[in-house]
Amino acid sequence: MAIAAKARQPEWAGDPTSPSPSGRAIDSRSWPPVILLGGEGNTFSVARSLAMVGIKVYAINHNYVSALRSKYLTRIDLPTRTRGVESWRDYLLSSASDHLKGSAVFCCSDEAIKLVIDNWRPLSARYLLEPAAPETRFRLLDKLLTYESASACGIAHPKFWRLGAGQSLGEVIQTGQFPIILKPRLSQHSRLIGAKYLRANNAEELKRQYQRCVELSVPVVALEFIPGGDERYCSYYTYIDEAGTPLFHFTKRLLRRHPTNEGGATYHITDWNPEVAEKGLRLFRHVGLRGLGNVEFKRDARDGELKLIEVNARYVNGNALVTLSGIDQALLSYAQLTGWPYAAPEKYRTGLVMWDPIPDFLAFRALHSRGELAFAQWIRQAARADITPLYDMRDPLPGLHSVMNLAVAAGRLLFKRSSYRGGDGEIPQLVGRIKP
């Protein structure tokens, strides 16, 4: 699918922040390469931005990730004797990576951020790391610490409870309003429970779900569920330089996720929302963030207030849409680390759409079954798409590989559907969670 805005004329939004890029010719061979750790659609987008200006891009990731098939990056295959992020760390700190010394390391997943936090000193001696201090990145990585930070600076959030060793669920049950959700404090632990969070509609369910987390050694925070549909989600993006100056302000909103209220976003729209920007920047300034920041809110259907959902101090899957709107976060980050001549523009285009076709069709199916979205309306919305996370006619292999992954996963579940309580309904659930 072409990466270009359609014929309709978008609006422009944003605050004046910095001068335009110089546009002068650059010999990219003299500039350090970039190593991307983890991710999926965001990895593809970041690699494309950097490679198209001649910056060499390497990627370390799980073998099943579709973005690794991109022509815009060089995949680093690691020995299979060690698995997961441990192998990433071992490679980055070994003599095998000596030829990459001086490269910039960009994190595209939470597990990558945790790796960098845990190995900050030795990694910083070999590579250019993003500027956020390890303690700040961890505060924005750990859900409990994030909510505590929001509370401290007056940002509305769901009611939450700290859970840990020796603590019971008594206070949650007595003072909370069901449904209550249990969310892993570190999102990479979501794989262990098979979902972003576990939902409990009563006290018995809460006890059972919490016991499951304890048995899996997954630290969780208990939260009140914020009611309302996925169209109530919105987010803010920025980059804060070493002096504490935000170099751009960007907001977008959602129409759909899959699965509803839990899975990845399937339909995004760029807009300009000063309220979202103000709250997001207030949180980032409170924690002392430097570098990239993304914060997501949901407008509570009960009181109309924006409530904090989650924060990411890294590239997220909406990165391609931010880039299309006019703000190339990958080049901006690279410029801040290396002196590459790029500055964020004063404005960006609003009204642009990023659409993830297969998950969004499944989101439509769920909404249609409840009488909330007509087929004709969904088709009209899909026709507005300007960009997708992985499908690019100039580089088709990541998109094709993603479709193959989903087909294989669906086929396996169809074959084994009798062993799943949800039957065929498990297939769309998996599609919403298959991406790392």
Q: 2 exposed, middle or buried (CB, 10 Å; 0-12, 13-18, 19+)?
A: exposed
Residues 251, 235: contact at Cβ < 8 Å?
A: yes
**In this model, does residue 335 exceed pLDDT 80?**
yes
Among residues 154, 41, 207, 190, the alpha carbon closest in space to that of 108 is found at 41
The whole-number pLDDT of residue 165 equals 63
Domains 29-132 and 230-395 fall in the same CATH topology: no
Structural fold of domain 29-132: Rossmann fold (3.40.50)
Q: Name the helix (H) or strand (E) containing 415.
A: helix 397-415
Q: How confident is the model at residue 3, as a pLDDT? A: 29
Question: Taking residues 231-246, what's their average pLDDT?
Answer: 97
The answer on pLDDT for 13 being more than 80 is no
- Mean pLDDT of all residues in the chain? 88
pTM > 0.95: no
- What is the per-residue pLDDT for 337? 97
CA atoms within 13 A on the CB side of 148: 12
Structural domain boundaries in the chain: 29-132, 159-224, 230-395
Q: CA-to-CA distance for 359 and 356, rounded, in angstroms?
A: 6
Residue 423 has pLDDT above 70, yes or no: no
With beta carbons less than 8 A apart as the criterion, state whether 340 and 331 touch.
yes
- Strand 34-37 vs strand 233-240: parallel, antiparallel, or unpaired? unpaired
Which pLDDT tens digit goes with each residue over 24-34? 456 667 899 99
3-state secondary structure of 302: coil
Average pLDDT rounded to a whole number, residues 264-284: 97
Q: 133-165 pLDDT, tens per residue?
A: 999 999 999 999 999 999 999 999 999 999 976
Class of domain 230-395: alpha beta
